[in-house]
Structure 1
Amino acid sequence: MSLKAIASILGLSVTTVSRALNGYDDVSPETRKRVEAEAERRGYRPNAAARRLKTGRANAVGLVFPGRTSPISDCRFSEMLLALDQRLAQQEIDLLLLVDKPHDGPRTLTRLLRSRVLDALIVTHTAPQDERLLSLQQKNFSFITLGRSDLPQPYAWLDVDHQQGSRQAVEACLRQGLTRIAWLGSDENTTFVRDRRQGFLDAIAEGAPFDIVAIPPSRRAGYQQSLAWLAQDVPPEAIITDSSALAEGAALALQQAQRLSGPQAVRLYAWEGLPREAIIDAPVTAIRQASQRETGDQLADMVVRMLNGAPPEQLQLLRQPWLEPASL
């Protein structure tokens, strides 16, 4: 099955079919869906070698994730990777996973760029001042970030309004008359950690928070810190966490202190709620964002548009979070 045959069946030009299958923006979504469906139905697969010779592309994109943590073992991160890989595969683009080693700086990325085995990079876990991204901009290499950074020039990014999500949690507490609100935050140097904390501070600016801590984002650390708070003469009325692991630790501490329910219950708010594999059920109000599958699909679409020449200013998407009330 050739492009010419698909074009004849659909009553389209070969050029339109080719541009639809390659993700160009000048093809309407309806036409693209028709072309993709017909190509899928007839088992059409473009010749990868011919495409490389024609376009000069490697037809490969690298995703950079930090070696200091284990995002691959996180089921949510894995869902995003699967959706991203599947959507890129539809465009005959390979996804390569690259470990960003601690203290290696941009050296690994520089070696990859010189080898010309990648057309673009996806960088996750961005820092406020990210030397990797600065290096990529200086080399004029295509990249998109999952998260944002403070860069001098426009760049492509997909992110969540982290400040808004934390503000919503604080405002929900204040509406319930809760004023002793504690922030249980991570100590990682990433932009989303900074922005989630800043949203909390902005929302509570008119009053004094109960306490703010920055600790390792682990269940143990969340448990120990929450126990320390509960041991005080006047404990917090609400705890807001910036990660699922910290939320589970806090929930375990509240359960042990019998503060999950009843008149002395401490309200618990958490970005993304409890982990799916959590060992405890607790009434947690989750700060939700788009599903990981949706994130992977959107990221893939933005990558394809970037490879087809869309400027960075057209590849910036800020999604809005929302509160999901506790179900228990």
Structure 2
Amino acid sequence: MSLKAIAKQLGLSVTTVSRALNGYDDVSQETKARVEAEAQRRGYRPNTFARRLKMGKIDAVGLVFPIHPVPLNNSVFMDMVGEISRELAQYEVDLLLIADDDNADQHGFMRMVQGRRVDALIVAHTLDNDPRLQQLQSAGFPFLALGRSQLSQPYAWFDFDNFAGTFSATNHLISLGHERIALLGENNYQAFITQRRSGYLEALSKHQLSTDYLRAVPPTRRAGYKAVQELMALPSPPTAIITDCNSHGDGAAMALQHMGLLTGEKRVSLVVYDGLPVDSIVETDVAAVIQSTREGVGKQISSMVLGLISGQPVESLQVLWQPEFTPGVTVNPPA
């Protein structure tokens, strides 16, 4: 089905029909609606490749993620990726996953930039001083950072207040009378990890409590399980535990459950960032720091990256969301 047939049916020129389907501003909304309705009725789909060449757009966005640690093992990250992809697909924009090796001489995503294979990049798991973002900013290429970093010029970013999440959770435990509070934190220097660690440490410092129960562990169930076993074997074990990701949070919950400490008279309070994974075998309603829904995050990020592609100022594309604390049944005064 050609543009000519649509133009003839509506009494419009082929040029007007083409510009209406491609979203040009010089075509009225009424005319666009008529053209789109007729195109849909006829099952017309434009030649995507030709349209991309004409408009200088690729209709693809790359999502850059680090190889180490492996975020594809994280259900929260993968749920978010799925929602971003679904939202962008509604605008006929494809999402490409680009693995990036920090130890490589050259970042693989720069091939996408230099070959103009994507319209913009989403950069996940940022660092406080992130060479990827610095390189993209120097190249003048549009990007949306998932996390804040230190850059010389303004840039688009979306983030959660990770500091506030652990700070509020730790303060809540302290208000219940806990003094020996452990944090199982990921053993890397990505920005969201350091921010969560800082929130925990700041709350302890404010009340002059010991930081001896801080542990840096890999983001795995096994590491969380073993860390809790070791903590509970101490002469003065913690009375409360916070984990900064749900993978080792699940391991921590399993360890406490196996030791009879997740519930009951000798229970140890537990707070898991992002909540337990959906496939967890632990059925107890564990306390959590929740970062909105994956659907909400996907819509927000997709909207921002589409705005970036359309030329919105980066200063208007800077969004910080606040996490929420849900107490569940695993936050109680010390046993």
Whether TM exceeds 0.5 here: the answer is yes
Q: Which residue in 1 is equivalent to 2:145? A: 145
Are 2:100 and 2:107, in contact at CA under 8 Å, matched by a contact in 1? no
Letter in 2 for 1:295: V
Distance change (3 Å), C-alpha of 1:302 and 1:187: same
The alpha-carbon deviation at position 46 of structure 1 amounts to 4.5
1:74 matched to 2:67? The reply is no
1:308 corresponding residue in structure 2: 310
Offset from partner CA, 1:128-177 (integer Å, 9 cap, x none):
11111110011111111112222121111111100111111012112211
CA RMSD of aligned residues (A): 3.2
Q: Secondary structure at the match of 1:122?
A: strand
> What are the superposed Cα offsets for residues 284-327 of structure 1, whole Å, 9 maximum, x if unpaired?
21100111122122111111111110011111111110011215
Q: Is the 2:217–2:223 contact (alpha carbons within 8 Å) kept by the matching residues of 1?
A: yes
* 2:75–2:277 Cα contact (<8 Å) kept: no
One-letter amino acid of the structure 2 residue matched with residue 123 of structure 1: V
Cα–Cα, structure 1 residues 281 and 133, in superposed 2: closer, same or farther, change >3 Å? same
Distance 2:37 2:182 in 1: 55
Could you tell me which amino acid in structure 2 is paired with residue 208 of structure 1?
L
1:287 corresponds in structure 2 to 289
Task: Give 1:183 shift.
Answer: 1.2
Residue aligned with 1:62, SS: strand
Distance, in Å, in 2 between the alignment partners of 1:321 and 1:87 is 22
Does the CA-based 8 Å contact 2:61-2:95 persist in structure 1?
A: yes
Distance 1:226 1:274, change over 3 A: same
Aligned to 1:200: 200
Structure 1 segments unaligned to the other structure (5+ residues): none
Match of 1:226 among 206, 228, 233: 228
Structure 1 residues 133 and 40 mapped into 2: Cα distance closer, same or farther (>3 Å)?
farther
**1:166 and 2:162 correspond:** no
**How far apart, in 1, do the equivalents of 2:313 and 2:255 lie?**
49
Determine the C-alpha separation between the residues in 2 that align with 1:254 and 1:56: 56
8 Å contact kept, 2:186–2:245: yes
CA 1:105–1:323: 2 relative to 1, 3 Å: farther
Higher Cα radius of gyration: 2
Between stretches 148-157 and 41-50, larger displacement belongs to 41-50
Shift of 1:201: 1.3
Q: Report the CA distance shift for 1:253/1:181 in structure 2 as closer, same or farther (over 3 A).
A: same
Please give the secondary structure, in 2, of the residue aligned with 1:53: helix
Name the structure 2 match of 1:182. 182
Partner Cα separation in structure 1 for residue 18 and residue 39 of structure 2: 18
Deviation at 1:106, TM superposition (A): 4.4
Equivalent-residue separation in structure 1 for 2:223 and 2:52 (angstroms)? 50
What residue number does 2:333 align with? none
Q: 1:53 to 1:239 in 2, by over 3 A?
A: same
Whether the 8 Å contact between 2:290 and 2:326 is mirrored in structure 1 is yes
- Larger mean CA deviation between 155-164 and 212-221 belongs to 212-221
Deviation at 1:39, TM superposition (A): 8.8
Shift of 1:270: 1.0
| Runs of 5+ consecutive residues of structure 2 not aligned to the other structure | 331-335
Distance 1:16 1:314 in 2: 28
Matched position secondary structure for 1:205:
helix
- The sequence identity of aligned pairs, in percent, is 39
